[in-house]
Amino acid sequence: MNQILDTIIALMAGSDSEEEEEDKQDQDLLMEDYASLREDNMNLEQQNCLLQNELIELNKELDSINVKNKDLQKKLHMTKMEVEHSMRWNRSSILLDSIQKSQSTTKHGIGFHKAKGPNIHCLCSHCGTYRS
């Protein structure tokens, strides 16, 4: 019986060492996984920092572009107003010039007095000629 008891104790001791060996292997695997995850986390934090810096730079660039865009819109509006004002003057000049040219041969238009009609009181009723 002693022998059976010794065998059982030896088997139990062997099974304990097998469980301890499996636990140690599991612990080693967990430690490797943990170290790998920490390394991945550090790499991701570095990438996040770089991306945040890039985002800050892009926001500054966007703000600068927006300011330039507003300035250009103001200049465009002023230019449109100047062109419109200039076109009004050009159109009125062209119209006045064409009136002047078309009417100058008939002596009617800008700069000419209207022709006065005949004075009825000076018209001779006998011969139909004017008297002065």
Q: Which domain holds residue 61?
A: 1-75
Q: Report which secondary-structure segment, H or E, holds 61.
A: helix 2-103
Kindly report, residue by residue over 40-99, the tens digit of the pLDDT: 999 999 999 999 999 999 999 999 999 999 999 999 999 999 988 888 777 777 777 777
Residue 108 covered by a domain: no
Residue 101 covered by a domain: no
Biggest CA pair distance of the chain = 179
Kindly report, residue by residue over 10-34, the tens digit of the pLDDT: 666 665 566 777 888 888 898 999 9
128, 120 contact by CB (below 8 A)? no
* Structural domains of the chain, count: 1
Residue 48 covered by a domain: yes
Residue 64 covered by a domain: yes
